[in-house]
Amino acid sequence: MNHALILPILLPLLSGALLLFAARLNLVHQRLLSCLATWASLPLAGYLLWQADSGQLYSYALGDWPAPFGIALLLDRLAALMLLVTALLASVAVFYACRGDDQRGANFHALFQFQLLGINGAFLTADLFNLFVFFEILLIASYALLLHGAGAARVRAGLHYVVLNLLGSSFFLIAVGVLYGICGTLNMADLARQVAQATPDQQPLLAAAGLLLLLVFGLKAAVLPLYFWLPRAYAAASAPVAALFAVMTKVGFYAILRVYTLLFGSAAGALEGLGHAWLWPMALLTLLLAAVGALAARSLGVLLGYLVLVSVGTLLAGLAMGHVEALSASLYYLLHSTWLAGGLFLLADLIARQRGDKAGELQQGPAILQGRLLGGLFFLAAIAVAGLPPFSGFLGKLLLLQATPAAQALWLWPLLLLASLLVLVALSRAGSTLFWRTARDVHGRAEVDGGRTLACVLLLSCSPVLVLLAGPVLAYCEATARQLLDLAPYLALVSGGRT
């Protein structure tokens, strides 16, 4: 049994528990433990990615109970890719937090580790109930992280976030109960076999449970009309928390891709493609209205929140098309959008620290102390986000447009190009307000921190790196898409077959 498969769960679990018990330790020691645990996840994710690239499925049965009776973890190319995305994002975010943001409240580093526990567990679990459990872990940690540092704006945003996600959790539990009541199992591969063999009288209830899951995952992914909580919540969070939250919507996208490809995919019989007809219009509307929201944003944090939603709509469009080329383009765009969004949230904090009371408001304020450096970073990031060459955003959108069938291209091409234009206008207006239409004097309490700037640069530099490594990255994404659409090896996991 490959015990490395459980380490992305055990590492944050043990370090988070230790940080709670050692809460009275010196802050330096807490930071050291948290950073070491987070940074250790990066080479571990790289090793698991190397293993998954062989094309083999790796299953880990806790307690050595065979599937579908025991709790199972599953490593494939998709899970390994998401682990790497999270590890890199978290490694930079925790370093940024150690520059002072972790002092705003208690137990930041323990909460950060529990957040990673929930995210990594959601990517690795092969069981629908444990997906619910890991969702709850990451949500509970995110509630506390969102409110970390207090403040009225965070409490208001956090209240909406908590209420909506509690409602989503209730629906998730109802859907899980219905599926278990009909199929007698919650192992995803076994569920796929049971759904394919469902009798006509069972199919309506299974369809209802499946659509309820789509509602829940759509809330997690922040798909229209379930996204209104996100911009203000992300804008209210501290910079390292908002950067880590850049992967949270991708957890919802991952859940839709995993569950609906496996449970309601090509082997689902009469329930094949359940809910698929809703994905395409939801993707297009999310893309368009999020771009309009970005144009109307009055603060940099809210603007970046809407940019996250633009990426959600773009990703969902690739998922709705459902073929190998579209899925591989979406996965490449997922890498770009997650890391770049994280870097932009850190950059927004660097800018706000030099504007005094104006902070991230898109209003005329004092001159920025590091105007050339931060202005240059903002310019390059804006080009990448808007999808202009030569950065990864352009390549990801180009691949997605090329993969679009003619009938769907009539909708996606104009909407994606219009959304890119609106994003470009919004970012141009924000950049001119922040860096050009300013007073002559620098704010007296402007903060400059080389460590924070380095963390921001590290994440933003992922965009040109993705272009330089486009060949192997795209090859891996295409292999991932092909593996997801080939269900036979997944179904063999619960039939005693060798994978």
pLDDT digit string (tens) for 125-175?
A: 999 999 999 999 999 999 899 888 766 767 777 777 888 888 999 999 999
For residues 342-359, average pLDDT: 91
Compute φ and ψ for 187, nearest 5 degrees: -65, 130
What are residue 59's DSSP bridge partners?
A: 74
State residue 497's pLDDT score: 39
Tens-digit pLDDT profile for residues 262-290: 999 888 888 888 888 889 999 999 999 99
SS3 assignment, position 60: strand
- Please name the helix (run of DSSP H) or strand (run of DSSP E) that holds residue 200, with its range, or none: none
Calculated CA dihedral for residues 323, 255, 113, 153, nearest 10 degrees: 110
Asked if residue 245 has pLDDT above 60, the reply is yes
Widest Cα–Cα separation across the chain? 74
- Alpha-carbon span 350 to 243, nearest angstrom: 13
Domain ranges for the chain: 1-273, 275-468
Strands 58-61 and 72-75, by their bridges, are antiparallel
State residue 444's pLDDT score: 62
State residue 498's pLDDT score: 37
State residue 437's pLDDT score: 81
Mean pLDDT of the residues in the chain: 91
At 455, is the pLDDT very low, low, confident or very high (cuts 50, 70, 90)? very high
For residues 94-105, average pLDDT: 91
- Alpha-carbon span 181 to 127, nearest angstrom: 15
Whether the model clears a pTM of 0.85, i.e. scores above it, the answer is yes
- Alpha-carbon span 428 to 414, nearest angstrom: 21
The larger pLDDT score, comparing residue 83 to residue 161, is at: 83
State residue 172's pLDDT score: 95
State residue 49's pLDDT score: 97
Asked if residue 496 has pLDDT above 50, the reply is no
Tens-digit pLDDT profile for residues 171-192: 999 999 999 999 988 999 899 9
User: In 3D, which of 59, 170, 151 has the Cα closest to residue 359?
Assistant: 151
Q: Report in angstroms the alpha-carbon separations of 307 from 270, 390, 474.
A: 37, 19, 23
